[in-house]
Chains A and B, each alone.
Chain A
Amino acid sequence: MYRILQTLLITLCLLVSAHVTGLRAADDLGALVSALGTAKLAELDDRIAALAKSGDPRVIPVLEALGEGNLYARKADGGVFLTTEMGASLVLVDPLDGAQLGEVPKGELQKIKVNNAVRRAVRSALGGLTLFSADAGARLKAAQSMRQTPSADALEAIETALAAEKDVTVRKTLDEARAVTLLVSDRSDDDKRAAIKLLAEGGGREALGALSSALSSADASLKPDIEAALQRIEQAQAFWNAGQNVWYGLSLGSVLLLAAIGLAITFGVMGIINMAHGEMVMLGAYTTFLVQDVIRGSYPALFDWSLAIALPLAFLVTGVIGLAIERSVIRFLYGRPLETLLATWGISLILQQSVRSIFGPTNREVGNPSWMAGAFELGGLTITWNRLWIIVFALAVFAALLFLLKRTSMGLRMRAVTQNRRMASSMGIRTPWVDALTFALGSGIAGMAGVALSQIDNVSPNLGQGYIIDSFMVVVFGGVGNLWGTLVGAFSLGILNKFLEPYAGAVLGKILVLVLIILFIQKKPRGLFALKGRAVEA
């Protein structure tokens, strides 16, 4: 109670004094802000500190703009303004009262240059200023930045904020920020011991960093405590690392599954060695690019839906191209695997070069919709949203395909044709059309995979080449002709790869996986889940 009163009193005092000296302060603040315009990079630190010292909340937008590179100085008179971009010109906003001052061409203004050091200074200054903000989100951010860059001067502010803080998450972060800051302050060893204990319980990489940097400068009496805490955190981390590897493996597996699942149809079910499979993935990614391009140009509000729109389009585009390839080339080559291989390889080169001629050889930008950007923490795991959605998507595509093959009449025909073509044909199934549609389906699914892969990889004409070998590897390893085999194959290869990578490195890891697959194929030439029965020999 006493503490709250104290805080209130301090705030009141500040408010009153701010009011009394209001006019003079505005002048001072104006001068401080204009000073930013003339500062050299090395001087900006001091000027930011001076601004932060004023404690005035009006400084917050100025510093934010500075950090984001939106603060400009007018070349004519050195006036400093917040700006928002409007085509080739900038909309000026007064830095202190927020009044709109009209548009000017970019050439008349000079951006105030910032670098990482300045951005760090801005971040910690903002941390101090927003620690008492009314918005819990802003306070959390402030607490996080204080935790990241501890400075002994901030300790009292953190303690005052902690006393008044009600929000549980912010409190927790503040507690940690206080502990981290305490370690660099000159408080008593007992206080520090408590802080070390708190950090050890909280765990996490940041605590690890703070403790190890404290270790080098700590008193001899504290060192054993810190070492014990470090050991404790590292043990917990080792446990989470294993979890992290499984997660990365699943994620890599889902990418492999997506890349391979179309091939599981064209190669696995139909037996066509389809070297143009990767290019279907690439075309799907380019469809996503086109969709996003139209959306960016005409309907920016729809951007978060761009992938949902691109999915059916990519399926259609690549499906139709697949159909055309089957009708024009592949149908003449059934039963001649070597020719098919060469012909589809030729097609893949033609597709690559046409895309290169049409869209240019450089990467195209495909953006992440907001729901696919960033990451969240789950215990000690960092899980990125785009990887999570790709796993979900891969499994959904797999389920849909399984349903199509096992539960629809179309699927029944496909299976009939692959198992015994002549019998199916005598039963009145138009096998050529089933072949064409199956190939189109496989290509269409590859196109949908391209939509997902555009989120994590380059959209360039070479996109497909990177996946073709992996796809064949998965299908062969899982067992040709078996969808479940593809699923299990993709995930086990993904996890195997990710468990090898930390020990063997990415290059050697990949080689090891290949060697293991070769050995495996020696032992089980038909893969994990081999098809059984008479049809296999045909």
Chain B
Amino acid sequence: MIPQATVKRNEASLRRTEREGFNQMNIKARVTGALLATVLSTTAFNGAFAADDTIKVGILHSLSGTMAISETTLKDAMLMLIDEQNKKGGLLGKKLEAVVVDPASDWPLFAEKARELVSVDKVSAVFGCWTSVSRKSVLPVFEELNSILFYPVQYEGEESQRNVFYTGAAPNQQAVPAVDYLMENESVERWVLAGTDYVYPRTTNKILEAYLISKGVKPEDIMINYTPFGHSDWQTIVSDIKKFGSAGKKTAVVSTINGDANVPFYKELANQGVKAEDIPVVAFSVGEEELAGLDTSPLVGHLAAWNYFQSVDTPTNAEFIKTWKAYTKNDKRVTNDPMEAHYIGFNMWLKAVEKAGTTDTDAVLDAMIGVSVPNLSGGYSTMMPNHHITKPVLIGEIQSDGQFETVWETPGLVVGDEWSDYLPDSKDLIADWRAPMSCGNFNVATGKCGGKGS
């Protein structure tokens, strides 16, 4: 379900293109033309004839290419949230209108599409991106055009930007508590840090390695392993893990393996008989969506650390799941952590706009800090001055029905820490976007704004 106005426009543009097709192309090419038009009309023609009495919200998620697997769900979630808000009467007396673009998992295209959203479609805020590399590629655009981006996915930290709100987890809201859990409850002494070879796993593992060593783990008890994107042959690595785990000390795997590579990894774990009771695997990128393509009964007990699980038992979550299933007209659709991040981010934005009484970027940026909205796990999340939010950290075990069961959670909410305390070159940095500091990388040692990442 796309909001009504958009559908109409799509049809109009489709008809238009088809007419042109009739005139200009011969019969054979017409089929191709129509096909192309269907693909293009969802993106290029969106928002071309916008009415003035709506507030436009940009959705920048890949609908094709490798990341479509994860990002399409977020696009649907955003459309649902906007739809729901319109049913409640919109915002500032105006209807909200979603503008969907498809950056096609292509990082430079993310920047182009972001520019299009802000300068052509004049959206008030953009919700989008999934990987850190896509975020990094749009940062200059948001800075230059002074617009707002909500980034909903867990990431490696080491960044705080004036125009970006990070509603996903920073490392201290996911990775560090997960390691703490394993150390305390499973008395793990040997660690395998396995990840896909790109910036998020590398930075996270760097932080974790520093953290583990600070906790007295010997370097020879840490094994770090990187694999390419979409790696599908895990035989050697799983057998290495088994070998590493047979040194008489309790061993665990901390996995920052991303996306598609997870399914073959877990299949290999199951087939080689690596049981969660012996060598548990805790993952930071495996959620309900990823498990949907997998028979989870041999994986019961492996862990994931998130700020939200679909199985969280609260009335708000039950309501959210019900709306989601009704909206997608699919009883089997699952919810996941980045969806909750968008839920929180969107509601924060609504509240900030209402508080500011305008969608003007500078006013909203000021109003955002300190805004507090309910999250789906039964508490309130607050936007902090560093543009990160407070969240509970949940550790869940995989169940045979593909859901997670929370086995541990932080007693309170955890504030996202953008500059890790465990890395030597970022431990002195803080971010505070309130006046008068207004700085994303303030060095408390030198008392100056500007440090790493400036």
List A residues at the B interface (Cβ < 8 Å): 41, 68-69, 113, 115-117, 119-120, 123, 148, 205-206, 208-216, 237, 244-245, 248, 251-252, 255, 350, 352-353, 356, 360-368, 373-375, 382, 384-387, 456-462, 465-466, 498, 501-502, 505-507, 510
Contact = CB atoms under 8 A, between A and B. Distances in A.
Nearest to B232: A457
Interface stretch (B61-69, B212-220, B348-356, B416-424): B61-69
Query: 6 shortest A-B CB distances, which residue pairs?
Result: A363-B293, A213-B248, A212-B248, A205-B246, A209-B246, A361-B68
Contact of B239 (A212, A252, A368, A382): A382
Nearest to B295: A367
A459 B293 contact: yes
A386 B272 CA distance: 11
Nearest to A363: B293
Contacts of A362: 69, 72-73, 289, 292-293
Contacts of B197: 507
A117 B303 CA distance: 13
Given A353-B39, A363-B294, A365-B294, A460 B271 contact: no
A507 B228 contact: yes
Contact of B231 (A363, A373, A506): A506
Contacts of B243: 205, 237
A374 B271 contact: yes
Given A210-B248, A386-B271, A462-B66, A119 B231 contact: no
B293 A116 contact: no
A507 B226 contact: yes
B246 A208 contact: yes
A223 to B, nearest CB: 14
Given A41-B407, A350-B35, 20 more contacts: A115-B407, A119-B276, A123-B277, A148-B278, A205-B243, A209-B245, A210-B248, A212-B246, A251-B235, A255-B233, A352-B64, A353-B39, A373-B271, A375-B272, A384-B268, A456-B267, A457-B263, A458-B263, A502-B236, A506-B226
Interface stretch (B6-14, B150-158, B365-373, B397-405): B397-405
A212 B267 CA distance: 29
A395 to B, nearest CB: 18
Interface of B: 35, 39, 63-64, 66, 68-69, 72-73, 185-186, 197, 225-228, 230-233, 235-237, 239-240, 242-243, 245-249, 260, 263-264, 267-268, 270-273, 276-278, 280, 289-290, 292-295, 298, 300-301, 397, 399-400, 405, 407
A364 B293 contact: yes
A505 B232 contact: no
16 contacts: A116-B280, A119-B301, A251-B233, A252-B233, A255-B233, A361-B63, A362-B69, A365-B292, A366-B293, A373-B270, A384-B272, A387-B271, A460-B260, A502-B240, A506-B228, A506-B237
A495 to B, nearest CB: 12
A386 B271 CA distance: 8
A117 B280 CA distance: 11
A364 B233 CA distance: 19
B280 A368 contact: no
Contacts of B72: 360-362
Contact of A212 (B235, B247, B260, B301): B247
Nearest to A360: B72
Contacts of A460: 69, 260, 293
